[in-house]
Structure 1
Amino acid sequence: MAFGSSIIFNGRFLQRPVTGVERFAIETLRALDGLISSGEIKLGPLFLAVPRGTQAKVSFNHIQLIEVGRFQGYAWEQIELPWFAGRRLLVNLCNTGPVCKRHQAVVIHDAAVFSVPQAYGMAFRLVYKCMHRLLAWRGARILTVSEFSRQELARHLHIAAESIAVLPEGGEHVLRVLPDDGILTKADLLKRPFVLAVSSAQANKNFAFVAQALAPLGDPGFDVVVAGGTNPAVFAAKGAALPPFVKHVGYVSDAELASLYMQAACFVFPSLYEGFGIPPLEAMARGCPVVASNAASIPEVCGPAAVYFDPVDPSSFLDALHQVMGSEPARVQLKVLAQQRSQLWTWPRAARSLLQALPEQVPTHP
């Protein structure tokens, strides 16, 4: 099969559950496919290379899924993927890429393995630190998703910040699904207001801080609904039972999450470290007021459309939360600002930025 001047995308992410990094890859490629369909851009052949047996989570009109090699995981990515790509441009959207390949672009979403190493196991930390340094040393085009991450990566990888391109992300994918309000009845969320958090077990996500800050209040008059797969015990103060106002609903579908965003009095995002942070944008796209940490990239993403707090100061958090929960006019104003802000960050913009940042001339107009 002749590929000519084709671009190869690393599709190993399709074998993993969809978290923020995988969401970025799927939605950026979906948007790129849409821009080609609309006639806005014209490209040569595009291929999404995957290990054999990969079940595609999404289909495209102009990007061909192609199974490559016999290996899986890192062995596939480091050995068989670069062999298949040959001299063609390889684009890696999810933090990793083959260290032996020169003609490639790699989106590294953050420098968390360097800046918050305690959030990862030793083996993972070692592999990612070595890989990122080798990719930079061998001249891969490094891309990232925020100015904050650009500065962090430049510092840790010892490369010029100007050599790292910044791509936006988006949140409008939550508008494609029909909300499933069944989650509200199933989780008993119709009796009083609730604050929503989308959880993760990583320490830098800082979700235990929310419940621990609220615990001294007794019953705050609203529930804290936690969606996600982490152990709910992390939301309890050390040595204490989980507060009764915290409701852990576990994994939810995109449709259920859309309903939670729409019905929540506000969305809380307490992270200590984020390369970008898609959940606040998802909340904004659904018109949900956002109360967010003032750390890392979060103010860069949320701008004036969020109320901020210090993620290590409980009183700062409680003041921000009271500012939103205690005022209907404040929530209405935040809803307006949220929807306006979310329109600045879109997946078509991400796809256009990706094409502009690739390390070879790619025609972007028919």
Structure 2
Amino acid sequence: MLFNGRFLTRPATGVDRFALELMTAYAGPPAAGSPGAAAPATGRAAPAGLAPARVAVPPGRLRVLPPALRERVFRVGSRGGQWWEQTALREAASDDVLVNLCNTGPLWRRRQLVVIHDAATFANPGNFSRAFRTWYRFLLGSLVQHSEAILTVSAFSAGELIRFLGRPAREIEVIPESGEHILREPADGSLGEQLGLGGGRPFVLAVGSQSPNKNFGAVAKAMALLGRDDVPLVAVGGANKRVFAGGEPAADERGVIRTGYVTDAQLRWFYEQALCFVFPSFYEGFGLPPLEAMCCGCPVIVSDASSLPEVCGSAALYCDPADPATLAAQLARLLDSAALRAEMAAAGRAHASRYTWAAVGERFGEIVARRFPM
């Protein structure tokens, strides 16, 4: 079995986190005599009846490579990007089972598994450039039609793939994510201290990319409605001010503290110190940050849209992503009640403990064994 390791050469996203953790949880020793088999590997052995896993990567610097995967990686081809997937990766896979964990893969190949995390380019086309959505719509349509196995990360996303791409429901497998990786490293408060957030200073936390889908503008408006100048909003990611403010003047960002990029250890500190975490996204295939926050005991407010109720259950408070007043009301409840914060923190930890990467790896192995019997 060959994993598509293209994602290892680019800055990590939530989709890449899923791929990295799943591969680490699943991967067994490389096949004897295969590229990448020069030294013994650590980690869980591949399930009985499955070929050991290898990881093909394009040329270029690897952004991340855990020790458990190092001896399984081998480089192929001379170019990267989408072209590499359609040419060098296809050739390297030969007749092997090819596993693509990040939405993309070779066109018209049957013997492959593809994880498609959402159908955002169909559901929210305005969030993407015309060229990007045109290519991705064509690519996803081909992958869904021709690939032996299609996986996604929530029942919501499975329904979206059925709605937009027509794959029969019985043929789409659901495999969830986990947030436990955020507890792997001790919390690092150095950045928080530099930003004046040490000493128990209260703040509200938001984490996400620059995509308008993350709805950071609603967070800024909710904080303004709340009228608590003593409680700043800390924004991790989303460096584009006009994206964060929903295209409105930067004055809407009064009281916003931006962190820029943070490490997992720094992010853990922000989760653990925040009064609460807010995630009013319009559309999510899964929604990893709320689960990370729950693992850290941070009370969570999410939108009542897409996959978030499925993923967060009763362990979160909910708001209407189109109505910042509903977010402000939930913020007020948490800020005014230490008892509610403690209740939601405990509920979040208990809920998040149901999701583990080890279980994800086992589920993945079961699917591969059933869909690609030796």
TM-score of the pair, normalised by structure 2: 0.90
- Determine if contact 1:167/1:354 at 8 Å carries over to the other structure: yes
- Determine if contact 1:272/1:293 at 8 Å carries over to the other structure: yes
Q: Does 1:12 align with 2:6?
A: yes
Q: Does 1:100 align with 2:112?
A: no
Aligned to 1:47: 54
What is the CA distance between 1:334 and its match in structure 2? 0.8
Instruction: Specify which of 184, 193, 208 is matched with residue 202 of structure 2.
Output: 193
Moved more, 313-322 or 256-265: 313-322
Say if 1:56 and 1:184 are closer, same or farther in 2 by CA, change over 3 A. Answer: closer
Distance in 2 separating the partners of 1:353 and 1:232 = 40
1:296-348: CA deviations, max 9, x gaps?
A: 00011111110111111122111111121111011111111111111111111
Say if 1:173 and 1:240 are closer, same or farther in 2 by CA, change over 3 A. Answer: closer
What is the CA distance between 1:217 and its match in structure 2? 4.4
Q: Does 1:361 align with 2:365?
A: no
What number of residue pairs does the alignment pair up?
356
Aligned to 1:331: 341
Instruction: Specify which of 234, 243, 262 is matched with residue 243 of structure 2.
Output: 234
Instruction: Specify which of 37, 42, 64 is matched with residue 57 of structure 1.
Output: 64
- Determine if contact 1:30/1:60 at 8 Å carries over to the other structure: no
Q: Does 1:304 align with 2:311?
A: no
Instruction: Specify which of 175, 179, 184 is matched with residue 183 of structure 2.
Output: 175
Aligned to 1:206: 215
Aligned to 2:35: none
> Structure 2: which amino acid aligns with 1:261?
Y
What is the CA distance between 1:220 and its match in structure 2? 4.4
TM-score of the pair, normalised by structure 1: 0.92
Distance in 2 separating the partners of 1:235 and 1:76 = 34
1:7-54: CA deviations, max 9, x gaps?
A: 000000111111100000001111114898356844432100011234
What is the CA distance between 1:214 and its match in structure 2? 2.4
Any gaps of 5 or more consecutive residues in structure 2? 30-41
Aligned to 2:151: 143
Identity of aligned residues (%): 44
Aligned to 2:82: 74
Aligned with 2:43: secondary structure? helix
Distance in 1 separating the partners of 2:243 and 2:233 = 14
Distance in 2 separating the partners of 1:12 and 1:99 = 16
What is the CA distance between 1:240 and its match in structure 2? 4.9
Moved more, 199-208 or 145-154: 199-208
Aligned with 1:24: secondary structure? helix
Moved more, 268-277 or 247-256: 247-256
- Determine if contact 1:93/1:107 at 8 Å carries over to the other structure: yes
Aligned to 1:260: 270
1:277-312: CA deviations, max 9, x gaps?
A: 110111011111101111100011111110111111
Instruction: Specify which of 247, 251, 254 is matched with residue 244 of structure 1.
Output: 254
- Determine if contact 2:10/2:63 at 8 Å carries over to the other structure: no
1:138-189: CA deviations, max 9, x gaps?
A: 2441110000000001111112122100001010001111111112211111
- Structural RMSD (CA): 1.9
